[in-house]
Amino acid sequence: MTGIGNVAALGGTESAAGQGIDTLRGVRLWLWSVTALVFLMVIVGGATRLTESGLSITEWKVITGILPPLTEAAWFVEFEKYKQIPQYAELFPTMTLGQFQTIFFWEWGHRILGRVIGLAFALPLAVFWLRGVLPSALKPKLVGLLALGGLQGAVGWWMVKSGLTGRVEVAQERLAIHLLLASITLTCLVWLAVGLKPKAAEVVRAASRLKATAVAIVVLTLVQIGLGGLVAGLRAGYTYNTWPLMDGHFIPPVENLARLSPVWANLLDNVTTVQFNHRMTAYALFALALWHAVDALRNAAGTSAAKRAIVVAGLVACQAVIGIVTLVYVVPLHAALTHQGFAMVVLGMAVVHARRMAEEKV
């Protein structure tokens, strides 16, 4: 399929294809810019979690919450609200106002960035829409992404609420869902942005299998990110800080992996099981990416598909090394943030590869 043909297929109209590369270039730049903001959001969110800042703002004020406290009296009011939740009483009973302000600004910055992303998506969307720039088939996808962003904000507050009563941190399953939604948003943005710059497809032997494997890598990467959210929520990275063994075992004893009842609760609440699943999925992802790269070299040597497959496998390997370092050194802040941020790099490249593979010919 030619480049013009791809654009026409996306837009469903000849007029969309005929608008020219400059117009579509603007839409692509916009989508890539929002992607960068989502990437930054994931990093800031990770820092918020690792600095125990996520519960410092105990209310969700969509409009008035834009401004932080501006007077000393206002700061004391916010501090008193924080003192009412279990996290303060059980973990930080000696916290000073200055220390509270530090964690407050992490959470406030996270929320403000969420609002910025919403505006950075909604306003250009309205402009492009009104100017008649957007291909018709792209419009519902962009509206869906806007709705996904709104859902992400609601899930973020749902997550925070879980830590305000009865526990000293947010529920790990809600944290994982929050991170996974951000990752899905990034996936959709990259998929659409790449698709708006079509290239002439190469003829690739075994293209159908390679396409399926490329998509499987994206899906497994998302699963691994979700499992990483559970690890972060349970602070599972602070246990079993050796590799490749966990307390002397490659596979921990069954009584450790299934010590909770009902059995399924171990998938969410058992530190041993959660970390083990994260490790095993990492091995599976690396094996899949490596096999895919070898398969691409055998059946598409010299093509851009093979080159991308090698890059994906290399990034997965790098991420595994970063994860091991983070674990062995007991989750230092810089390593943990690098691990979380690099997961988005792996995901982004995997999506680029899968999107391009979707254009390849058998």
Sign of the alpha-carbon dihedral angle for 301, 307, 309, 314: positive
The domain tally of the chain equals: 2
Q: Which domain holds residue 294?
A: 202-362
Q: Are residues 181 and 235 in the same domain?
A: no
- Residue 19: per-residue pLDDT: 43
> What pLDDT, on a 0 to 100 scale, did the predictor assign at position 362?
58
Shared domain for 236 and 338, answered yes or no, is yes
Q: 93: helix, coil or strand?
A: coil
My answer on whether 148 and 226 are in the same domain is: no
Looking at the structure, tell me whether residues 105 and 226 fall in a common domain. Answer: no
Residue range 241-252: average pLDDT? 96
Count how many residues are written for the chain: 362
Nearest by Cα to 55 from 176, 166, 148, 184: 166
For the record, the structure tokens of 47 come out as 């820092």
| Token couple for 206 | 């075994």
Q: Are residues 16 and 48 in the same domain?
A: yes
Amino acid in the structure at residue 81:
K
Q: What is the dihedral of CA 72, 76, 82, 87, to 10 degrees?
A: 90
Domain boundary among 166, 185, 200: 200
Provide the greatest CA pair distance for the chain. Answer: 69
Q: Are residues 141 and 230 in the same domain?
A: no
- Whether residues 291 and 214 share a domain: the answer is yes
* 260 and 173, same domain (yes or no): no
Q: What is the pLDDT of residue 24?
A: 85
Is the pLDDT at 86 greater than 80? The verdict is: yes
pLDDT class of 198 with cuts at 50, 70, 90: confident
Q: What is the pLDDT of residue 63?
A: 86
